[in-house]
Amino acid sequence: MILKIEKLTIYVDSQDDALKFWTEKMGFNCLIDQPMGPDARWIEVSPNDDPELTTLVLFSKALMTEQSPQSIAHPSIMFSSLEIDTLWEQLKNNGVELNEIKEYAHGKMFDFRDNEGNPYMVHG
């Protein structure tokens, strides 16, 4: 039986730039940053240090293109927030590219883009 979604992998052009975006602009914690063989690096980030949360893996797009080119399409990822208005202001102040908050019957949402222009959503 599957218990949870453990990791989501984002394929990035620059692992250093992606790590900087997710930690400095988004406020995530870097949980793992270690070599993965001689030519690869494994990086995991998360909104906090809770081991039960799903983590984002920031993996080299170039390396994955060599290994499995069909796997590099960007996934649709939605985050949740209990204080979506505060989060929106914080991300705006951090220089994150984002759209205005929209209100729907099921709550508020906004979308943002990472340092490479990939889209994400936040629901609150």
pLDDT in tens, the chain (124 residues): 667 888 999 999 999 999 999 999 999 999 999 998 788 899 999 999 887 889 999 999 999 898 888 878 877 898 999 999 999 999 999 999 999 999 988 899 999 999 999 999 999 9
Partners of 99 in the beta sheet?
none
Question: What kind and span of H or E run contains 77?
Answer: none
**CATH classification of 1-68, choosing from 3.40.50.300, 4.10.640.10, 3.30.479.10, 3.10.180.10?**
3.10.180.10
Q: What is the model's pLDDT at position 89?
A: 97
In this prediction the pTM is 0.85
Q: What is the model's pLDDT at position 105?
A: 87
Topology of domain 76-124 in CATH is: 2,3-Dihydroxybiphenyl 1,2-Dioxygenase; domain 1 (3.10.180)
User: Do the domains spanning 1-68 and 76-124 agree at the CATH topology level?
Assistant: yes
Give whole-number Cα distances, 105 to 49, 76, 85, 109, 116, in Å: 32, 21, 17, 11, 31
